[in-house]
Amino acid sequence: MRAANASVLIEQTIGRGLRLPYEGKRTGVDKIDKLTVIAHDNFESVIAAAQAPDSILKKMTFIEITEDELSEKTVVVTSKTVLEEKMETEQNDIEQIEAPEQKQKAQNSLDAKRAIIHTFNTLNIMPEVRKVDDLNKEEVKRKVLKQVERNLSKGQQNLFKDEIIKEADDVYEILVNEFKKNIIEIPRMDLVQGEVTAVFHPFDLDVSDFNYDALDQEILRLELTGEYKAETLKALPSGSYGAPVNLIIATLIDYPEIDYDANSELLRKLATQAYEAIKNNLDNASKIKEVVFQFKQAIAEKIYNQMKEHFELSRREYMKPNVLPFVKIEEHNFSALATYGYRDYRELIQPVSMIPKYVFRGFEKACHMEYKFDSKSEQDLAFILENDKTVEKWLCPAPNQFRIYWNNNSKRYEPDFIVETSDCIYMIETKAAGERQSADVQDKKTAAEKYCKYATEYTSTNGGKPWKYLLIPHNEVRRNVGLDYLK
**pTM (2 d.p.):** 0.65
Domain containing 408 equals 342-486
Q: How many domains does the chain have?
A: 4
Residue 70 lies inside a defined structural domain of this protein: no
Q: How far apart are CA 369 and CA 330, in angstroms?
A: 12
CB atoms within 10 A of CB 245: 18
Q: How are beta strands 411-413 and 403-406 bridged, if at all?
A: antiparallel
Same domain assignment for residues 363 and 302: no
* Helix (H), strand (E) at residue 76: strand 74-79
Same domain assignment for residues 44 and 151: no
Same domain assignment for residues 95 and 151: yes
Same domain assignment for residues 216 and 157: no
Same domain assignment for residues 39 and 119: no
CA distances from 249 to 15, 257, 266 (A): 35, 14, 10
Q: How are beta strands 190-191 and 187-188 bridged, if at all?
A: unpaired
Question: Please, what is the Cα angle at 288 between 285 and 231, to 5 degrees?
Answer: 120
Write out pLDDT tens, residues 250-294.
Answer: 999 999 889 899 899 999 999 999 999 999 999 888 889 999 999
Query: Would you say 423 and 434 are in contact if contact means Cβ atoms under 8 Å apart?
Result: no
Residue 407 φ/ψ, nearest 5 degrees: 55, 60
- Render each residue's pLDDT in the chain as its tens digit; 487 residues: 456 566 677 777 778 888 888 888 889 888 888 888 776 666 667 667 766 666 655 554 555 666 666 667 888 888 999 999 999 999 999 999 999 999 999 999 999 999 999 888 776 567 888 889 999 999 999 999 998 888 888 766 677 888 999 999 999 999 999 999 999 999 999 999 987 777 899 999 999 999 999 888 888 888 877 676 888 888 887 778 889 999 999 999 999 889 899 899 999 999 999 999 999 999 888 889 999 999 999 999 999 999 999 988 777 789 999 998 888 899 999 888 777 789 999 999 988 988 998 999 999 999 999 999 999 999 999 999 999 999 999 999 999 999 999 988 889 999 999 999 999 999 999 999 999 999 999 999 999 999 999 999 999 999 999 999 999 999 999 999 999 999 9
Same domain assignment for residues 246 and 137: no
Residue 277 lies inside a defined structural domain of this protein: yes
Same domain assignment for residues 363 and 476: yes
Same domain assignment for residues 177 and 202: no
